[in-house]
Amino acid sequence: MCRERIIFMVAGSLVLLGVALGHFVAPGWLLLSAFVGFNMLQASITGFCPLTRILVAAGVQPCSRLSPTA
């Protein structure tokens, strides 16, 4: 799996987890979704994403624009 897909998968999973926990456990869990949303917003402005740094260090390759699965 390529780097960008992993980032979208992790972000989407954390948002859904935060919403589910906020609904079923305690409203404070909605802060998890807010944090992920804020991180996505700042990453779109600054270009800095902590998960990208982790994945680069782990050797995960970026998605190729020529790949049919990208």
Range of the domain at 10: 3-57
pLDDT at 33 over 70: yes
2 neighbors 59 (Cβ within 8 angstroms): no
69 pLDDT more than 90: no
Instruction: Place 65 in a pLDDT band, splitting at 50, 70 and 90.
Output: low
Q: What is the CA radius of gyration of the chain?
A: 14
Q: Alpha carbon of 52 to those of 1, 18, 36: distances in Å?
A: 14, 21, 14
Task: Tell me, yes or no, whether 64 lies in a domain.
Answer: no
Residues 2-30: pLDDT tens digits?
A: 999 999 999 999 999 999 999 999 999 99
With 0.95 as the threshold, say if the pTM is over it.
no
Assess if residue 18 is contained within a domain.
yes
DSSP E strand stretches across 1-70: none
Contact 22, 29 (CB under 8 A): yes
pLDDT above 70 as % of the chain: 91
What is the total count of domains within the chain?
1
